[in-house]
Amino acid sequence: MNSVFRPYTTKEIKPEGWLRDQLVIQANGLAGNLDKMWPDVRDSRWIGGDKDGWERVPYWLDGFVPLAYLLEDEDMIARAKKYIDAILDGQQEDGWICPCEKHQRATYDMWALFLILKVLILYHDCSNDPRVEEAVYRALKNYDAHVGGNLVHNWASSRWYECVIAIAWIYARRPEKWLITLAKSLEAQGMDYTRAFDVMKEKSTDWRYYTHVVNLAMAIKTDAVMSLVDGRDPSKYAETLAGFLDTYHGNINEYFNGDECISGRSPSQGTELCGVAEAMYSYEVLSCVSGKVKWADKLERIAFNAFPATVSEDMWTHQYNQLSNQPYCVDYKMKPHFSTNVSGSHIFGLEPHYGCCTANMGQAFPKLAIHTFMKADDGVALVSLAPATLSDKINGTEVRITTDTLYPFRDRVDIRIKADKPVKFALKIRIPGFSDSAKVNGQDAAVGEYFVCEKEFFDDVVTVELQNSAKFVKRDSLYAVVRGALTYTLPVKERWEMHEYSANGVERKFPYCDYEIYPESEWRYGFSSKELEYVEHDGYKSAFSTEKPLCGIKTKVKRVDWEFMSGTNYIADTTPKSTEGLGDDICVELVPYACAKLRMTELPFVD
C-alpha cells in the first residue's frame, strides 16, 4: 500500500525563477482575487452567504491555499483561513460538513464533500492545523453511514475515486477497517469508464457523465488512488484509459479534446480548462504513486502548453475551451460547433461558459510546484525539471536543493545542493522520455528513466544537459512541430476587443472583463519546408510572453485555401480546402504554443 514516491508540501518546496513569477502573476490575477469580487466565492453558502454552496469555493481553495503558502503571503494565508474556519465551524455534530439543510442531504451531490476533504488535507499539509484530521475523520464516518441509505449519484458517482484520496489519508493515520470497506463500496457503485469504450469512440453530441472530459481527466488516477488502500497496480487503469483517449480524442499536447464532452481529434474542436487542470493533478498523483517517468512526461507537456495557453498572460481571464487551431476567439453567435458548449466558450473572460473553470483554474501551477520534488526511500526524486527549491532534513542533515534553470525553454538544468555537513543520499533525476538523449555531469543518461546520482553531497552542482531536436509530428492529415516538452505554433497577430457588462448579477469589468480576439495577420498556411531551425531569445519578460517568447523555431510556409467550418464564420475548418501552395515561400518563426492566443498549430504540407 506504499507509493514509490511521497509528496512534499509547501513547507519544504518553494518555486523559483519563471515558475515563481507565474505564481505571483496568478496571485495578482483572477485566482488570487475571486474572494473579493466573484459572488459565488465572496458570498458562498460555505461561509454563511446565499450563493453557491457546492463545488466553487472548494475548487477555488484547492488552488488558493497552496498558492498562499508557496508565496508565504500573510494576507492570502489569512484569507484562506477565514474560509477554512467557516467550513470547520459549520460542520454538524454528526460530522456532516457540506452547506445544506438536513432535509436536503439525500439529494445533495456529494462530489462537493470529496472536493472539500481534499482541500482540508491540503490545508493541513500547509498549516499543520490540528483541527483537520478529526474533521475529515468525522466527515468520512458520517458519509459511510450516508452511503448506507443513499446510492452514490450524479457527479459523486462519476468522481467517486476522489473520495479515496481522503480515505487513504485518514487510513494512514487511523487504520480502521471500515475505511477500506467504504472505498470498495464507492468503487462498486461508481462509474467505470472503460466499460463505455464502445460508445466513446466518436465525438459526443449529447451531454453524458461518461463522456464528460473533466470526469475522464480525473478518472485517469483511479487505480493510483485505490492502490493506496488495496495495493493494486497504480498504472493499469491509466494505461488503458489514457491510451484510448489519445487514440480517439487525443491532441498534440498529450491531452485529449473535450469541449465539455469528448470531441474527436480535430484541432478546431476544443479542450476544457477544468479538464486540463485535473489531468495535471492526475498525472502528478500517478508520478508519485507509480514512480513512472511517462506520467511526469505527460504532466509537463500539458503544464507547459495546454494550461498556460488557455489563460491570459496576466491570468485575469481565461477560456472555457481552447483550440489548437484558433485564428479567432470570437463569439460568432451562430449554432455552436462545440459538442455541448455555447459559441462563445473560447473567448477570454471571467466565466465564458460555466463558472467551474473560473474557480478551478488556480490549482494547476501551485500543484505543479509542489510536485517538482518528491520523497524517495533512499533520498530525493526530481520529478519535474521546472525551477524550484527543496529544503528538507535528509538522513538527519539539513539539505537545500535548487534547480537553477529556464527549462523547458532551455535544455540545461543546474541542480545546486548545499548541506549543513556531508551527507549521503540518492538524487534521482527524471530524464524526460521526449528528449533525444541526455547527459548528467557529462555521463550518458537514459531517456525515459530516472538517473540515480548516489554519493556524499555537501556543496555540489549536478548538471543535466538535454538534447532535443525539433520534429514534425503527424496528426492524421496535418502536422505539428514539437521540440522537447514544448509544442510550437504559428502565431497570428492579435487585436483584443474588451467588453464590460453585467449578467445574472455578475459584473465584468476591467481587469476581469471579457475579451474577443481578432486576427490582424494571415493564418491560412501550410508548411513548405522540412527544415526546422531552433533559436533562443534573450529579454525575459515572462515564461509565456506573447511579446517576447524565450525561444522559437524558424521554418517556411505558403498560403493555402483554408475556409471556415460549415455553419460558423470564425472557426477554421478541420483541414484546408486545398493543400496547393499559393504564392511564394514565407519565412516564419513558430513560437511556444502558450505564447500565442491566436495560433495555427496543425498545418498541412503544401503540394
> Which of 190, 214, 242 is where one domain is finished?
190
| Residue that the C-alpha cell 476522489 belongs to | 162
Q: How high does pLDDT run on average in the chain?
A: 97
pLDDT for the residue 128: 97
| 247 in any annotated domain | no
Q: Tell whether 2 is covered by a domain.
A: no
Confidence of residue 34 (pLDDT cuts 50, 70, 90): very high
Determine the Cα–Cα distance for residues 220 and 162; give it in Å rounded to an integer. 11
Cell of 407: 527549462
Which pLDDT belongs to residue 116?
98
- The verdict on residue 106 lying in a domain is yes
* φ, ψ (nearest 5 deg) of residue 385: -85, 10
Q: Band the pLDDT of 151: cuts 50, 70, 90.
A: confident
Torsion of CA 103, 106, 107, 109, to 10 degrees: 120
Q: Which of 172, 190, 208 is the last residue of a domain?
A: 190
pLDDT at 4 over 60: yes
For residue range 216-252, list pLDDT tens digits in order: 999 999 999 999 999 999 999 999 999 999 999 999 9
Residue 443's SS3 state is strand
Domain membership flag for residue 76: yes
* Grid coordinates belonging to 484: 522537447
Is residue 130 in some structural domain? yes
| C-alpha–C-alpha distance, residues 296 and 55, integer Å | 27
Dihedral of alpha carbons 97, 98, 100, 102, sign? negative
pLDDT digits (tens, 9 = 90+) for 495-528: 999 999 999 899 999 999 999 999 999 999 999 9
pLDDT for res 339: 87
* Those residues with Cβ within 8 angstroms of residue 549's Cβ, 6 or more apart along the chain or in another chain: 537, 591, 592, 595
Q: What is the mean pLDDT of residues 203-224?
A: 96
Residue pair 100/53 in contact by the 8 Å Cβ criterion: yes
pLDDT 10s digits, 271-324:
999 999 999 999 999 999 999 999 999 999 999 999 999 999 999 999 999 999
- 202 domain-assigned: no
The per-residue pLDDT for 266 is 97
Among the listed residues 546, 538, 542, the one whose alpha carbon sits nearest the alpha carbon of residue 591: 546
Burial of 539 (0-12, 13-18, 19+ CB in 10 A): exposed
Cell of 87: 467550513
The fraction of the chain above a pLDDT of 90, given in percent, is 97
What mean pLDDT comes out for the span 595-601?
98
Identify the H or E element spanning 24: helix 17-28
Query: Is residue 46 one of the residues assigned to a domain?
Result: yes
Q: Locate cell 522559437: which residue?
A: 552
CA–CA distances in Å: residue 36 to residues 40, 314, 317, 318: 10, 17, 15, 18
Instruction: Provide the greatest CA pair distance for the chain.
Output: 75
Single residue among 190, 205, 237 that ends a domain in this structure: 190
**Dihedrals φ, ψ of 297, to 5°?**
-60, -45
In a domain, 408, yes or no: no
Determine what percent of the chain is predicted with pLDDT higher than 70.
100
Counted domains in the chain: 2
For residue 534, pLDDT beyond 90: yes
**Mean pLDDT (whole number) for 368-396:** 98
pLDDT (tens digit, 9 = 90+) per residue, 123-136? 999 999 999 999 99
Check residue 1 and give its pLDDT.
54
Average pLDDT over residues 155-173: 98
477 Cβ contact partners less than 8 Å away, ≥ 6 residues apart: 575, 604
Pairing between β-strand 449-467 and β-strand 486-491 as defined by DSSP bridges? unpaired
Residue 65: which domain range? 38-190
